[in-house]
Amino acid sequence: MIRFAGDSGDGMQITGNQFTDTTAKVGNDLATFPDFPAEIRAPAGTRAGVSGFQIRFSSTDIYTAGDIPDVLVAMNAAALIVNYKDVAPGGIIIANTGNFTERDLQKAKLATNPLEDGTLDGYRVIAIDINARVTEALQGSPLTSKDVLRCKNFYVLGLMYWLYSRPIEPTLEWLAAKFAKKPELADANQTALRAGYNSGDIHEVFQGRYEVVPVENALPGTYRNIMGNHAVALGLVAGAELAGLKLFLGSYPITPATDILQHLSELKEFGVITCQMEDEIAGICTAIGASYAGMLGCTTTSGPGLALKTEAIGLAIMTELPLVIVDVQRAGPSTGLPTKVEQADLLQSLFGRNSDAPLPIVSCATPADAFDCAVEACRIAVQYMTPVILLSDNYIANGAEPWRLPDMDKLPRFPAVHVTDTAGYAPYSRDAKLARPWAVPGTPGLEHRIGGLEKEHITGNVSHNPENHQLMSEMRRDKVLGVRDTIPTPEVSGPEKADLLVVGWGSTFGAIRSGTERLRREQNVSVAHLHLRHLWPLAHGLDEIFARYKQILVPELNMGQLSRLLQGEYPDHRFLHYGKVKGKPFTAREIREKITAVLEAKS
Amino acid sequence: MSAVQLTPKDLKSDQEVRWCPGCGDYAILNSTQAVLAEIGVPREKMAIISGIGCSSRFPYYMGCYGFHGIHGRATAIATGTKTANPDLSVWVVTGDGDAMSIGGNHLIHAMRRNVDLKILMFNNQIYGLTKGQYSPTSPAGLKTKTSPYGSVDLPFNPINLALGSGATFVARTVDTNPKHIKSTLLAAAAHKGIAFVEIWQNCVIFNDGAWKEWSTKEARAERTIDLQPGQPLVYGKDNEKGLRISGGEVEVVAAADADVWDPTTAAPLAYIMAYLDEREDLPHALGIFRQHAKPTYDGAVKEQVDFLTAKKGKGDLKKLIYTKDAWQVS
Ligand SMILES: Cc1ncc(C[n+]2csc(CCOP(=O)(O)OP(=O)(O)O)c2C)c(N)n1
Ligand code: SF4
Ligand SMILES: [Mg+2]
């Protein structure tokens, strides 16, 4: 659902009507609610003068619940303030900053600028000076500057067409016919439409809205809306604090991970250091250098960036330094579909390095879960002196949901130890978890050398001894496998025994959970859901769980990655892969239909 | 900084040094150990970070903290270490291949940021560790294993690259002159900000004598000129010749008429000195090309953190998480 809101004079009705016509041509079901201002002549720029047009449409692909807009186009400050509360959490707000001047704020009775004062936390705000962009696009047009500005509704319409993959041709034709006698007007509006359409690419706007799983009986507590990337940022800060460390982020901007870098760069008073480096390799290498110096090093990226970091991850594995690597997955390969969702970096995370280079992998299920998972990644990194990959994706990153706020005092701490005792110190001695001691430069008497060359067990001297390499390779493997002793066996949702178990990971959580619950509730289907947060090592007890179900289905937004991993690890069971790589999340309906089909095929 | 007194021996590790006999790296190692013993920094506050190459084995032979990284990435790793703890004295040891081919990107960016690192680039004009392929500083025409008919690549001039990248301290020294290495590294250590030091180094095995035209004791007097702050630009066996820069050109004059060298000037004289490398009739320049004072990256990062912590108060995670739009469910 989209709501266009602006001044009565802004042409919102025309914009809405055009979008409706085009959408109808594309073949969607739709419903529109034009909403005229009560006072047709209310003063421009005031709250009373706001005019709106709302369009709701759906197809079998797009499913949105309720009457809440996913996108609000606010042509001025008044339009924003009157409408923003109706927008779904995580929805897109496109604001024309050209009409947010001091005077516009005054007219809208606003003391501070809602674009800057935190009012819009939890929304995806796209602030564009549409007045300026339209003026630029229409440079050299014979129209007066006032008339030029009147074309801005077509700029917005163009952007909406891009966002919802609608053709612009019908409107181009409509303009040509309508202004047949005034070709300069037709021309100007067409140019504005094209400019708006092209701007979509530049802003890399993520399409679609995160579907919040409806919860019955929400737990008591304090809630707020949070988006996935923001939750990761907060989780990293919290994780560092729980470890008693300061956080260091070395990163390079890439959609859809950039927000994490942006959020963390605001938190200087937490002692967070953010370095925007020259590339992804430098991002991770500075983080490794910072961990070496005793901070909690972290790097954030998406799939293409993870590929670049490969060799350095191996270095962190070899030097056994704590490091958190966040991969906000997007559809690939290569540049792929940068604004679309996919969960196809699992095998890259597991195996995408030279030689045997094991590391733990954690993945988040929902925007709120991203906080807990980031904390968990920090815990493992610090307790086991290892790099950890945290997998998120585009859908979680840009999705929002209510987050039940944790009681920070009750979160378990996992204090990191920077050793200082020189007695018996050896760089590659190990504790019960097989972690080596963390001695940081600046500590007298513990001067030592680490690096990518294989090191001798205990002493840490360079070693080419064949037996030692075997031993150290086993140590690295066993250390990471040992993480499973500190993770719980995941709980199955649904019956303990059933005809079908659906196993998922990452952002498919919501669709699988609501799909399976509904089938049980409404059709009494014998199905259960198991969600895996830890993808490596896999938790204890999974074998026993799998044994209790007649069939196992693994839906994933890829061509078969978790299913392959599980098939290799648990060869006694059979894992049915159900994949989708359309740049879109699963809907609950797709999951239900697949489950029904699988069960029918069997019977 | 406390007046710490160390001896070069304190900076040796217990590991056996494993370069080829006769390799120029030995002289550089010894001089570096002597210099680090003198700079007044306690051993535990020194970190030597390297990439991959013969030269990059360096940290293993040093008695301070050391990190042998991956090929080309030492400057990036060191940037993280120095930014995380500006209290450390962080040195990067790298080769011409490590720094200028695979690590070129990190090198130029560390230089433009003015991270307070001391970068020692051992330039032997060859890939030593991989047994003799041409490098980005090999002269065109050099015959190597991968250029049997002569390299068709045109080389970098490392000094020009450093100057152009905005390095605030740029110098050059040579493995055959330990005294000069020492004075150059001492000046680098005293510089607050990035110091890029190119060290001409002989690889006896794969590129023997690459620098001998300029580097031997006999050649040095006539074929090199030492750029020292406040000193006249003189050279020759008896320092009888001088250089004068006029109209963007360099001319040879009597010692008495030579210009006095000023590496702190904003004028582009350092570039002219680097360009001497291309002149057969003039000496190549060693010594300090540039020495500019600018804010350091690590210092600026720390300043922002300190400033905002003082202004906003130490961050409180609870306040950060519990925003004003939170609501209660009971
Ligand atoms: C990613 C990667 N690529 C290639 C290599 C192989 N390699 C190691 S050192 C080196 C070149 C070293 O040359 P230089 O930096 O000049 O050091 P030198 O050995 O001459 O001191 C190469 C190509 C490697 N170790 N890692
Ligand atoms: S190969 Fe060359 S650079 Fe490497 S150790 Fe031997 S002489 Fe030195
Ligand atoms: Mg070399």
Could you state, in order of their start, the residue ranges of all structural domains in chain A? Answer: 2-203, 224-410, 492-602
Structure token pair of residue B184: 């150059």
Q: Residues near A323 by Cβ (< 8 Å), separated by ≥ 6? A: A284, A287, A288, A291, A297, A298, A299, A313, A316, A381, A386, A387, A388
Listed range (A87-91, A194-198, A289-293, A406-410) with the worst mean pLDDT: A87-91
| Mutate: best of B73, B111, B113, partner A, most A CBs <10 A | B73
CATH assignment of A224-410, given 3.40.50.1370, 3.40.50.720, 3.40.50.970, 1.20.1090.10? 3.40.50.970
Is the CB of B68 less than 8 angstroms away from the CB of A287?
A: no
A5 confidence band (pLDDT: 50, 70, 90): confident
DSSP state of A267: -
Chain B 185-214, residues with CB within 8 Å of chain A CB atoms: none
Q: What average pLDDT does range A284-300 have in this prediction? A: 98
To test the ligand 1 pocket, which listed residue (B93, B94, B130) has its Cβ within 8 A of the most ligand atoms? B130
CA B39 / ligand 3 centre spacing (Å) = 28
In a domain, B94, yes or no: yes
Q: What is the pLDDT of residues A359-392, one digit of tens each?
A: 999 999 999 999 999 999 999 999 999 999 999 9
DSSP A539: P
> Is B112 part of any domain?
yes
A27 — pLDDT class (breaks 50, 70, 90): low
Ligand 1 nearest atom to the CA of residue B25, by list position: 21
Q: What value does the mean pLDDT take over residues A312-321?
A: 98
Q: Which stretches of chain B drop beneath a pLDDT of 70?
A: 1-3
How far apart are the C-alpha atoms of A516 and A510, rounded to whole Å? 10
CB A45 within 8 A of CB A7: yes
- β-pair partners for B197: B120, B171
Contact A269 B317 (CB under 8 A): no
Candidates A338, A345, A167, A325; CA nearest to A232 is A325
Q: Which of residues 322-381 of A touch B (CB under 8 A)?
A: none
For residue A202, the model assigns a pLDDT of 75
If you measure from the C-alpha of residue B137 to the centroid of ligand 1, how many angstroms do you get, rounded to a whole number? 14
Q: Does the CB of A425 have a partner CB in chain B at under 8 Å?
A: no
Query: At residue A69, does pLDDT exceed 90?
Result: no
- Cα Dmax for chain A: 92
The pLDDT, as a whole number, for residue A205 is 67
pLDDT above 80 for A40: no
CA dist., res. B94 & res. B106, Å (int): 12
Query: Given an 8 Å threshold on Cβ–Cβ distance, is A405 in contact with B79?
Result: no
- Tell me the two tokens of residue A436: 């080596």
Lowest mean pLDDT among A52-61, A532-541, A578-587, B13-22: A52-61
- pLDDT band of residue A70 (cuts 50, 70, 90) is confident
Fold match between domain A224-410 and domain A492-602? yes
Concatenated DSSP letters of A424-490: T--TB---TTSPPPB--TT-TT---EEESS-B-TBT--B---HHHHHHHHHHHHHHHHGGGGGSPPP
**Rounded Cα gap, residues A290 and B80, in angstroms:** 5
A311: contact with B, CB 8 A cutoff = yes
- When pLDDT is cut at 50, 70 and 90, the band that residue A39 belongs to is very low
Domain count along chain B? 1
Which of B 213-272 lie inside 8 A of A, CB atoms? none
Pairing of strands A387-393, A323-329: parallel
| Single-letter residue type at A226 | I
By the 10 Å C-beta count (0-12 exposed, 13-18 middle, 19+ buried), A509 is classed as buried
Report whether pLDDT(A167) > 90.
no
Respond yes or no on whether the N-terminal peptide bond of residue A333 is cis (omega within 30° of 0).
yes
pTM of the predicted model as reported, rounded to 2 decimal places = 0.88
Between chains, do A449 and B60 touch, taking CB under 8 Å as contact?
yes
Residue A66 has pLDDT above 60, yes or no: no
- Pick the more confident residue, A493 or A45: A493
Report the pLDDT averaged over residues A416-444: 98
Q: Is residue B313 part of a domain?
A: no
Q: Is B103 in the pocket of ligand 1 (CB under 6 A)?
A: no
Class of domain A492-602: alpha beta
**Structural domain span for residue B154:** 8-215+295-300
Tokens representing B171 are: 């110098």
- Chain A partners of B59 at a C-beta cutoff of 8 Å? 449, 451
How large a percentage of chain A has pLDDT more than 70? 91
Asked if the structure places residue B178 within a domain, the reply is: yes
Q: Is residue B99 part of a domain?
A: yes
Please give the average per-residue pLDDT across A258-273, as a whole number.
Answer: 98
- Look at residue A12 in the predicted model and tell me its pLDDT: 78
Give the C-alpha separation, A391 to A8, whole Å.
46
In a domain, B305, yes or no: no
What is the pLDDT at residue A58? 55
Mean pLDDT, range A13-34, rounded to an integer: 68
Query: Which of residues 139 through 168 in chain B touch A, CB cutoff 8 A?
Result: none
Cα angle, residue A525 at apex, residues A519 and A528 outer, rounded to 5°: 80
Cβ(B97) – ligand 1 distance below 6 Å: yes
pLDDT, chain A, mean: 90
Mutational test site, ligand 1, from B20, B23, B52, max ligand atoms within 8 Å of CB: B52
Average pLDDT for residues A12-22, to the nearest whole number? 80
Indicate whether B224 belongs to any domain: no
Structural domain contains residue B246: no
Query: CB distance A241–B317 less than 8 Å?
Result: yes
Residue B156: CATH number of its domain = 3.40.50.970
Check A405 against B325: CB less than 8 A apart: no
Q: What is residue B23's three-state secondary structure?
A: coil
Q: Is the ipTM reported for this complex over the cut 0.95?
A: yes
Q: Which residues, other chains included, contact A494 with Cβ-Cβ below 8 Å and sequence gap of 6+?
A: A516, A517, A520, A527, A528, A529
Instruction: Give pLDDT, residue B323.
Output: 84
Query: What number does CATH give the domain A2-203?
Result: 3.40.920.10
What pLDDT does residue A6 have?
82
Q: Which residue has the higher pLDDT, A121 or A312?
A: A312
Tell me the pLDDT tens digit for each residue of B2-42.
568 899 999 999 999 999 999 999 999 999 999 999 999 99
pLDDT band at A161 (very low <50, low <70, confident <90, very high): confident
Task: Please give the pLDDT value at position A204.
Answer: 67
Q: What is the pLDDT of residues B202-238, one digit of tens each?
A: 999 999 999 999 999 999 999 999 999 999 999 999 9
Taking 90 as the threshold, does the pLDDT of residue A505 lie above it? yes
Pick A206 or A106 by higher pLDDT: A106
| pLDDT on residue A85 | 83
A267 touching chain B per CB within 8 A: yes
